Amino acid sequence: MTLLRPVRGTLAVAVVLQALAAALTVIPLIMVSEIGMVLLDRSSDTTVWPSVAVGVAATIAALLLSAAANLMSHLADNRLQHHLRGGMAERLSRVPLGRLLADGPTRFGKVLHDDVHSLHHLVAHALLDIVSLVVTPLTALVYLLLIDWRLALISMIPLLLGVVLFARAMSGSADQFADYARAQQEINAGVSEFVDGIAVVKTFGAHRRAHRRFLAAADAFHDFFSTWAGRTTTITAASQSVVSAPAVLILVMCAGAVMIIAGWMPAAAIVPFALLAPPLAAPMATIGTRLQNLRGGMSAARAVTELLNEPVLPAPSGPGRIEGTEVRVKEVSFAYRADADDVLRGVSLDLRPGTVTALVGPSGAGKSTLAMLVARFHDVTAGSITLGGTDVRDLDTTTLYRNIGFVFQDVALLRTSVLENIRLGRPEATEAEVRAAAEAARIHERILAAPRGYDSVIGTELRLSGGEAQRLSIARALLADTPLLILDEATALADPHAEAQIQDALSALTAHRTLLVIAHRLSTITRADQILVLDEGRVVERGRHDDLLAARGRYARMWQAQQRPASVPDPIRVAAPGSAQADEELST
């Protein structure tokens, strides 16, 4: 496995040490067998003390070697995790930001934490366990073959039967385990949906219906698991019974008695088989658990490998130079996958310094995609985007993000002080500069109301609403003071009063910067220098607010739809606070 290449040598040493330890663990039992045969043979004058000494020495050596093997495997695991996390962090730093936004909290987060941790069992334990499961019975079998090969072969019968029964029980297990995982996901989703939405569904009297959905998922999981267990339990139980120590011991003692009576072997020879035959089949008792753990480790290894092979943005040959901060989008087309339809088609626009450009249109029109392309969250499929006359693909990330800032629709705040959150983009910023940015974003007063003001820790001492978190994010972007600021649905979570305050502050701050804003509320962009109306990936209208209204086109119809008279009942605006409808209004 290429993933283990950095620690392959260390693991090889650990495996050799564990193999020696596993072989030595059989020596004490062999010595006990030798002592038993000596004591049963009254004609022998051989002393037992050498066997005792060998048994004690082998036990001590096995313990030391096993401890050394475990130490080596854990050191290898620690080094591998450090190497993988460093490699994944470096890889993710070059993965398109759009990809991180889409999958980061779920897939990448799971790989970085859960899957890397799952490799611990594979590296630190599974390999050594498998070595012990193989070497220990093999060592015992070699000794028993030397004592009496016929009874040794008879001792192998339970193991062979156990293998056959286990293979039959596990036939089709890959599909069954996949179905089991899906069933678990369904019931987990049902639990999460029921618990997370309990307040809303109870408000609307729908808790019985939601409860039925949860119970349906639980019943489906119960039926699946019962059917699966019913098919495999009998065979699994038979397999476990066949390889159990009592079953093996009974077989060996009966067969040995027949052979002794027939004169095929001395009576004392039964002692080694009574002691060592049961361990021959012992691995079958735990093979299922071992294979499941190994399967989990291999699955985690595949996930880590996929992340390490995640496509990255091509790096420019040099840092790149820009002249000015004008952004030009020329005939840009874009598709998220090579086999997918274009979500943008031949889009062109200029973002001149100090101007406000607004993108509007229905959901799925391509507004957020266009904004992400300007910040090079993805590379365009066709056309080009330039900053200061240089293609953004020829600029290193330091130069690019020194000139382009953005406020995401979904705000990410660190569990640290408000001060550190705001100056994330400018760690050297003074407290006065942080306060000025917070005041401009209309979040200063809310921060002062916290227990320790700007030193309050977000998430523990200060809990922000969606709109407040959005304004804090805007303060962070304003403090970074980039020439171009992209606001992707930045005011979607703000109430009308706070939204107006934010827009006033942003308008006053655009004298020395370019602003690209996406908003559903057209009333917030009436002073924009240009408004682009997108639909199905194309620019269908372009102009200032008054000009677009006069044109009586799509923008005018959108404007009229948002200017309904107050006398007309609005089912969303009159929704009760905290209801799903009210939340929908906040999000639009």
Give yes or no for residue 51 having a pLDDT over 60: yes
- pLDDT of residue 13 exceeding 80: yes
Element (H, E) at 337: none
Tell me the mean pLDDT in the region 559-571.
60
Give the three-state DSSP class for 580. helix
The one-letter amino acid code at 224 reads F
Q: Can you say how many angstroms the Cα of residue 363 is from the centroid of all Cα atoms in its chain?
A: 28
Decide: 532 and 515 in contact? Cβ < 8 Å: no
Percent of the chain residues past pLDDT 90, beyond the cut: 28
pLDDT band at 514 (very low <50, low <70, confident <90, very high): confident
3-class state of residue 331 by DSSP: strand
Q: Which of 49-53, 117-121, 289-293, 484-488 has the lowest mean pLDDT?
A: 289-293
Higher per-residue pLDDT: 550 or 186: 550
**Which residue in 29, 32, 262 sits closest to 150, CA to CA?**
262
Helices marked H in 197-244: 198-203, 207-242
What is the phi/psi pair of residue 422, to 5°?
Answer: -70, -40
CA angle 174/176/182 to nearest 5° reads 105
Per residue in 15-27, pLDDT (tens digit) is 999 999 999 999 9
Q: What pLDDT is recorded for position 206?
A: 47
pLDDT at 143 over 90: yes
Q: Is 473 exposed, middle or buried (0-12, 13-18, 19+ CB in 10 A)?
A: buried
Give percent helix, percent strand, percent coil of the chain, each to the nearest 5: 65, 10, 25
pLDDT of residue 452: 92
pLDDT band at 427 (very low <50, low <70, confident <90, very high): confident
C-alpha angle 150-154-155 in degrees, rounded to nearest 5: 115
* Amino acid, single-letter form, for residue 434: V
Cβ contacts of 470 within 8 Å, gap of 6 or more: 407, 411, 490, 491, 492, 493, 494
Q: What are phi and psi of 413, to 5 degrees?
A: -115, 140
Distance, CA of 47 to CA of 45 (rounded, Å): 6
Please state, in angstroms and rounded to a whole number, the distance separating the CA atoms of residues 570 and 566. 8
Range 200-224 average pLDDT? 63
Report DSSP state, residue 315.
P
Mean pLDDT, rounded, for 229-238: 73
- Strands of the sheet containing 530-535, edge to edge, are 404-407, 484-488, 514-518, 356-360, 530-535, 538-543
More confident residue, 106 or 201: 106
Instruction: Using the predicted structure, report yes or no on whether residue 579 has a pLDDT greater than 50.
Output: no
Report residue 343's pLDDT band, with 50, 70 and 90 as the boundaries: very high
| Residue bearing the bigger pLDDT, 194 or 515 | 515
Buried b / exposed e over 384-408, threshold 16 CB at 10 Å, is: ebbbbebbbbbbeeebbbbbbbbbb
- Residue 400's pLDDT band, with cuts at 50, 70 and 90, is confident
Res. 439: pLDDT tops 80: yes
Tell me the domains of the chain and their CATH numbers: 1-148+290-312 (1.20.1560.10), 327-413+460-587 (3.40.50.300)
Task: For CA atoms 381, 387, 389, 395, give the dihedral sign.
Answer: negative
Stretch 490-510: mean pLDDT, rounded?
58
Residues 162-175 have pLDDT tens digits of 888 877 776 666 56
238 burial class (0-12, 13-18, 19+ CB within 10 angstroms)?
A: middle
How high is the pLDDT of residue 106? 63
Residue 153, strand partner residues: none
Is the pLDDT at 349 greater than 90? The verdict is yes
Q: What is the DSSP letter of 458?
A: B
Q: Tell me: pLDDT of 212 over 80.
A: no
pTM: 0.67
Neighbouring CB atoms inside 10 A of 106's CB total 9
Given this model, what pLDDT does residue 235 score? 75
Q: Across the chain, what does the average pLDDT equal? A: 81
499 vs 557, higher pLDDT: 557
pLDDT tens by residue, 355-396: 889 999 988 888 989 998 998 988 999 999 999 889 999 888
Q: How confident is the model at residue 67 (pLDDT cuts 50, 70, 90)?
A: very high
pLDDT of residue 575: 32
Most confident range (mean pLDDT) of 120-129, 191-200, 405-414, 508-517 is 120-129
In this prediction, residue 245 carries a pLDDT of 83
Determine the pLDDT at residue 202.
52
The mean-pLDDT minimum among 457-466, 504-513, 537-546, 549-558 falls in 504-513
151-160, 231-240, 306-315, 458-467, range with greatest mean pLDDT? 151-160
Q: What is the reported pLDDT for 180?
A: 66
Sign, CA dihedral 36-38-41-42, equals: negative
Neighbours of 48 (CB within 10 A): 16
What is the mean predicted confidence (pLDDT) over 222-233?
Answer: 73
pLDDT value of position 344 = 93
Pairing of strands 382-387, 390-391: antiparallel
